[in-house]
Amino acid sequence: MNIGIYAINLDRSAGRWSRLSKQAGQHNLELIRVTGVDGYQLAADERLECGERSFRRNNGRTILPGEYGCYRSHLKALSTFLSSNQPVGIIVEDDIEFGYDLPKRVEAAFDALPKAEVIKLCNHRIVWFKHYATSVLGDEIGRAAVGPQGSAACYAVTREGARKLIDGLECMAHPWDIALERGWATEVNIYTTRLDLVDLGQHRTTIANRSTYKGAKFPWWKRLATLQHRIVEGARRINYALRG
């Protein structure tokens, strides 16, 4: 199977690209660079397809510039993949560490679960994992009933999955990592590997630091609608995970 690896990289992060491309070369992997959208270079009124009101309700805070840039960068990477003739693409951020066998393990994962349209290959957490298949290379594939799982640093996607994600997520109402997992809303057949197929690097995220996230949060009494939204989302996630 011809699988492309699409790496999102900001122009101001030349060092990251140098490290990632060198690592890929050591494993005889070819990377397609996708120039990331730098949200810090855009004013708030320049943001396209941005559901500010929905985002505030869903997340209890304002959109951070880095989050917006990350979101548009992933949509750009998916569009770049669709412009190729490859059946499956691997979307990566530039802070991961991957091994030579990543394409083979991805191919084996889709062979084990043909109905999958997206398979997440790394997460910050997996809770209440529902197993659906095991690849011939030993990777367990399923869904997590509790989330968000966190991280969109590496995932594999079919052409149909990419189309659905682009159509369903054009307007930003969640950070990308959360939006990606919401298969119950986008009607994407998304799964995850129980164990990470790549390592998250030691580089600090370019989106924001903890104090920036904290400063963007609303006071508790303005986050009651957010709590209600998350309870509903939690129930929908459990149903999605269990129904396969």
CATH code of the domain containing 219: 3.90.550
For residues 174 and 206, what is the distance between their CA atoms, to the nearest angstrom?
A: 18
Number of domains in the chain: 1
Summarised one tens digit per residue, pLDDT across range 39-73 is 888 877 778 888 899 999 999 999 999 999 999 99
Digit-by-digit pLDDT tens for the chain (244 residues) are: 889 999 999 999 999 999 999 999 999 999 999 999 998 888 777 788 888 999 999 999 999 999 999 999 999 999 999 999 999 999 999 999 988 899 999 999 999 999 999 999 999 999 999 999 999 999 999 999 999 999 999 999 999 999 999 999 999 999 999 999 999 999 999 999 999 999 986 655 666 566 776 767 888 788 999 999 999 999 999 999 999 7
Q: What percent of the chain has pLDDT over 70?
A: 95
Q: How do strand 127-134 and strand 140-146 relate by DSSP bridges?
A: antiparallel
Q: What is the pTM of this model?
A: 0.94
Enclosing domain of residue 47: 3-198+207-243
Please provide the average confidence, as pLDDT, over all residues in the chain: 92
Compute the distance between CA of residue 102 and CA of residue 108 in angstroms, rounded to an integer: 10
What is the torsion angle, in degrees rounded to the nearest 10, for the CA atoms of residue 211, residue 217, residue 219 and residue 220? Answer: -110
